Amino acid sequence: MPNPLIDRFLGSVIKKGHLTVTMASGEVHTLGTPSEGYPEVAIRLTDKRVVRDILLDPRLGAGEAYMDGRIVVEQGDIMSLVQLLRMNSPWERGGTLRPPSPLRRVKDGVKFLRSSFNQAASSKRNVAHHYDIGNDLYRLMLDPEHMQYSCAYWAPGVETLAQAQEAKLAHIAAKLHLSDGQRVLDIGCGWGGMAIFLAQHFDVRVTGITLSEEQLALAKERAEAAGVSERVSFELVDYRDLAKRGERFDRIVSVGMFEHVGRPQFETFFRSCANLLTDEGVMLIHTIGRFGGPGKTDAFTSKYIFPGGYIPALSETLAASEKMRLIHTDIETLRLHYAKTLRAWYANAQANREAIIDLMDERFYRMWTFYLSGATAAFESGGMGNYQIQFARSRHALPITRDYMAEAEERLRG
């Protein structure tokens, strides 16, 4: 009997690997061919509405059905299911490239215009949606040493999440080219890990800003416990409002925050940063980015994970910064580092399943693991990566070769 989910969607995707789908009616469909490196997964749909919901919006429909227990994974787990789907349609799938059809151009243009806005008035609410759900949840998932909720750096010899996050801090600190006595601004400081690390390794004063009250409270506690509270301060303030004060910083660092800016605010962000930097100032932005051109945020992520968020393409990030006379002094693409980081977080979430359910509930746990699974697949097979972009206001602000980065990083990593 024809089934639209199988015939129009899954059947056209699953070629490698093995997926068994048991419909609510009891029908069983087997898709794909067992292949080395591809998961073997079995799922069961508990009601007929699942098919309709997935066809209307595959990511949102599947996500909500999984959250509600209407998709049951009977072999494998949600990570392997999402991985199987994404691996069969990788971003870098090769082949001959052809120009998009006129209809595709129109659709892409509509998606572009509908992408998120993130005015100052809504930024705090959007941040609170994700980051103020409780520090206890993040303690169960992140590395306890630095509480880093961003892509780690899996340098040679690094084996654990904690080591990879410390390597990331050292990697970024080396690019900042810090000197004694400098003032550093950390935009989107999280739980204070970067600010504390810089104060521990350099004679600098660091100001961290966030819009999350939960993060602010814990960041202050962590700085006090680390013994650096005299040189590290944290404040609940929007970067736009801070720029209006007329303060200047020698260095700006922002890790995992630019994804929350929203495309219509890109120029405002870079104008604010340029005005916050001294004339010889240097800035390092670490952000998730698209390998291709501009796109749109999917409905599941917008609704449940990062309202107001938008993953930028490198092209639109650079275009916005160029207008503020910021020089792109160094750009690095991290291709697979976030995939490894997300798998480590997923493993921690699995290990702490009961504790997370006790804190939140079963539906939240399902939502959270679906989010981590989808993100992992996007970085392993989809069009997502990470960019570290170094900016300077003056062409004379940094050494003219990159040797200083490797030398500083080697010192920091011992």
Residue 344, in any domain of the structure: yes
pLDDT tens, residue by residue, 118-155: 455 566 566 555 555 679 999 999 999 999 999 999 99
Residues 43, 149 share a domain: no
CATH number of the domain that 172 lies in?
Answer: 3.40.50.150
Kindly tell me if the per-residue pLDDT of 355 is higher than 70: yes
Residue 96, in any domain of the structure: no
The predicted pLDDT at position 116 comes to 43
Average pLDDT score over the chain: 92
Residue 109, in any domain of the structure: no
The two three-digit tokens of residue 249, written as one number: 């910083």
Residues 281, 192 share a domain: yes
Kindly tell me if the per-residue pLDDT of 409 is higher than 80: yes
Cα(28)–Cα(25) distance, integer angstroms: 9
CA distances from 129 to 61, 88, 249, 293 (A): 21, 33, 30, 28
The predicted pLDDT at position 130 comes to 58
Residues 354, 253 share a domain: yes
Which stretch of 65-79, 84-98, 143-157, 384-398 has the lowest confidence by average pLDDT?
84-98
pLDDT tens, residue by residue, 270-289: 999 999 999 999 999 999 99
Residues 47, 162 share a domain: no
Which residues on adjacent β-strands are paired with residue 122? none
Which three-class secondary structure state does DSSP give residue 122? helix
Residues 260, 407 share a domain: yes
CA 52 to chain centre: 30
Residue 92, in any domain of the structure: no
The two three-digit tokens of residue 180, written as one number: 């004694």
Res. 308 pLDDT band, cuts 50 70 90: confident
Res. 266 pLDDT band, cuts 50 70 90: very high
Work out the average pLDDT over 312-339.
97
Domain end call among 67, 87, 107: 87
Residues 201, 340 share a domain: yes
DSSP string, 282-345: EEEEEEEEESSS-----HHIIIII-TT--PPBHHHHHHHHHTTT-EEEEEEEESSHHHHHHHHH
Nearest to 81 by CA among 346, 414, 388, 305: 346
Residues 11, 67 share a domain: yes
The predicted pLDDT at position 129 comes to 56
**Residues 252 and 283 sit within 8 Å (Cβ to Cβ):** yes
Work out the average pLDDT over 224-228.
97
Residue 100, in any domain of the structure: no
Of all residues in the chain, the percent with pLDDT exceeding 90 is 85
Residues 174, 82 share a domain: no
In degrees, rounded to 5, the angle at the alpha carbon of residue 288 between the alpha carbons of residues 281 and 82 is: 170
Work out the average pLDDT over 75-104.
82
Range of the domain at 293: 120-412
Residues 277, 136 share a domain: yes
Domain end call among 43, 70, 87: 87
Residues 327, 232 share a domain: yes
Domain end call among 40, 64, 87: 87
Residues 215, 273 share a domain: yes
Residue 102, in any domain of the structure: no
Res. 11 pLDDT band, cuts 50 70 90: confident
Kindly tell me if the per-residue pLDDT of 373 is higher than 50: yes
Torsion angle (degrees, nearest 10) of CA 71, 73, 77, 83: -60
pLDDT tens, residue by residue, 379-399: 999 999 999 999 999 999 999
Q: How many domains does the chain have?
A: 2
Residue 157, in any domain of the structure: yes
Residues 304, 247 share a domain: yes
The predicted pLDDT at position 122 comes to 61
